[in-house]
Chain A
Amino acid sequence: MADISTTPDAAVAPDAPSAWEPRIVAFLCNWCSYAGADLAGVSRLQYPTNVRVIRVPCSGRVNPLYIVKALQLGVDGVLVSGCHPGDCHYISGNLVARRKFAVLKSFLHYLGIEEGRVHFSWVSASEGNRFADLIQKVSDDIRRLGPARQLRKEAK
């Protein structure tokens, strides 16, 4: 994984207060969700442009630390999406991931991290529509919440 902590880009630039747009990082598995996103693109489906995609081999490859770290880097929301249960290219990567995410999501909720900052979903390679709808929903949710501040590290 590239060292995102030392790569300045739009995803980590400070807010322009007048025209705030949510910035969302989406970890998409190579075999299903990334292909689903691709299908949404080639099908010319319209969906919000607030998502920066990071392609990962499998949702099981997503270390929960990446999610917390993304929030520290200043993104407003994180989406992780993989193959539907049973469809994993590596047979069970998404099923093991499901356990990790269940615990992480509950823990973040317990700590008082705003509900709706972190999303997990399944999108298959044939579900371009589902991907577009998912991004619409996630983006709406995060827009409602406003900029994420809880974990963000800011240079004073």
Chain B
Amino acid sequence: MHEVEIKMREAARTLLESGKVDLVLGFEQGSLPLRMRPCFARNAGATVGLVWNDFCANNLAAYLPGLFQKPADVRGSWTAPTVAVVAKRCDARSVIELIKENQIPRQNVVLIGMPCQGMVDPRKAQEAAGANVTACKMAPDKQVELTTAEGGVAMSPREAILADACLECATPAPQGADVEIPGPSRPSAANPYGRLSEFESLTARERWDAFVGEISKCIRCYACRQACPNCYCKTCFIEQSKPTWAGVGDELSDVLLFHIGRIFHQAGRCVGCDACVRACPKNIDLRLFTRKIVKDVQELFGYVPGMSLDEQPPLCTFKEDDNESFITHP
């Protein structure tokens, strides 16, 4: 892990020093236990603060579309920056989708592909330790050592505290990056849609109750949308006012409309990185619903988001013999 960090830092420094990029988007030490956070390194000196470890969870692609928009208060000419992104494969796949949908210019992005062993979910770590965790250290035999605020130490298998997104990740190893940092990645998950079949086997009534149960926790802070790299609309449908699609408050019907709309919009875009899940302050189990869209798009159209720059986004195209078993015939 430490070697990977050094090589990544080196790559970032070289890119900035050579003038190939204006900015490296990476991770730095956060202010909370088990938390790294986005870092904007604009010169070689700033790269000493870049880190790589088990807590680099944010999907940094979320910042890209904004970086390539001319700020509204800038008059006259403006040059878009060239940006290097420290990217896990999921993040890189988001970048590919953004490029394909013309949200960011390919020539202005340098992907630093990171090997990925999965990121720790701090909430799971807290649960495993049964207390406030202040530190998490790798131990032998794929175990982690969790230190609690009270000074106790708890051991847990590393797999048990990894984020669901990582446990179900089909593409952990970097591929197609501009700069690839060598290192070990975890194996691809055998079943990327772990919980779906269980949910699908429930009755319609049970599924609806579960959906409403989750969504009714929502306070409409839009953290899911803002953290999602592929939610890039300049004006979200939920905020449009001519016409207004939904009320502004937290009435259930409006909140349901928002989430159905947002998740549906992720068809062909969602890479399953769980940025929305991590961002949610209310622990809404959004993954249970986003995965369905991903699975359907794969099963119906054979499309997996972010795998190549050449494939057409699935909802912008068609095949003559697309499935139409859902059509109602009199």
Indicate if A touches B (C-beta under 8 A). Answer: yes
- Which residues in B have their C-beta under 8 angstroms from that of A112? 204-211
Number of interface residues of B (CB under 8 A): 48
B260 A102 Cβ-Cβ under 8 A:
no
Given contacts A96-B315, A111-B260, contact A136 B243 (CB under 8 A): no
A106 to chain B, nearest CB (A): 5
List the B residue with the shortest CB-CB distance to A105.
B326
Interface residues on A, range: 35 or more
- The 8 Å CB contact of B204, one of A3, A6, A92, A115, is A115
On whether the beta carbons of A100 and B315 are closer than 8 Å, the reply is yes
Chain A residues whose C-beta falls within 8 Å of the C-beta of B207 in the assembled complex: 110-112
Tell which of A11-19, A27-35, A49-57, A148-156 binds the partner: A148-156
Q: Which residues of A contact B300 (CB under 8 A)?
A: 99, 102-103, 106
Give complex CA distance A110, B282 in Å: 22
Partner of B237, one of A65, A100, A104, A105: A65
The complex places the Cα of A152 from the Cα of B300 at a distance, in Å, of 30
8 A Cβ contacts from B209-264 to A: 209-211, 237, 242-247, 251, 253-254, 256-257, 260-261, 263-264
5 contacts between A and B (CB under 8 A): A85-B324, A95-B322, A99-B315, A107-B263, A113-B204
Identify the A interface with B (CB < 8 A): 1, 3-6, 64-65, 68-69, 72, 79, 85-86, 92, 95-96, 98-115, 119-122, 130, 133-134, 136-138, 150-154
- Known contacts A106-B292, A112-B208; 10 additional CB pairs below 8 A are A1-B243, A5-B245, A65-B245, A85-B320, A86-B320, A100-B315, A103-B300, A110-B199, A110-B207, A134-B330
